[in-house]
Structure 1
């Protein structure tokens, strides 16, 4: 789908937006590594689910997604462009729906999707991810898969 009404300047700026290895993503990975956590980057956590997480902690079954405030419709910082408004509303709402579907599909497979907004401080985001990963590593495997113990 193309932004029909956008100016050449807007199209050029949008085409330069990185979708991987963004500044916040690199800083978060660095902080997590410094905290002693090891992970994979840009992987599909679940076979058959064509969604790639930014950071994947396999044994803990945690998939981290670093979401841009504009592209994913941040509740704090979302902006709705006036030019070609319908196109952008459909695009951003579609991204939100896909994110929700991804979270559900991962949860159905025993994974936890963690969403980090680009506006979050690296320290806060790293501490949150670190706590989640370490807690899930301590959980019995059956609980992570959603199997009742006993």
Structure 2
């Protein structure tokens, strides 16, 4: 198990994809009028592509057209102080091909928000990274005590 400089577990790409595929809500990060914007969205992972269904005239649809975006999913448990976070970066594109729209419409991607959602955005993931917060160490080693017995002189 690889740890980063903060002591978080570094997740392999396959684990990141598995966690993403099991999560229905994510956050897309894009630029809106030269400022960063974040919007929660329902999504589906199709292979390594992130599929988002939105309204045709939405701010999200306009802002993500041929743009580099970030996408984040996570899960945290405040009681156990554990959790994970996965971030993907890639180019977003509007789906305009009727055959691709038909294929995407058949996927089990049901929007949670009300209103018409007949526009699809595909994020081609180019970078994926993830971290897991492990369960806190309990017992005598919780405060940084060495797990080795004391040295005898």
Same fold (TM over 0.5): no
TM-score scaled by length of structure 1: 0.22
Bigger relative contact order, structure 1 or 2 (CA pairs below 8 A, ≥6 apart): 2
Higher-Rg structure is 2
TM-score scaled by length of structure 2: 0.22
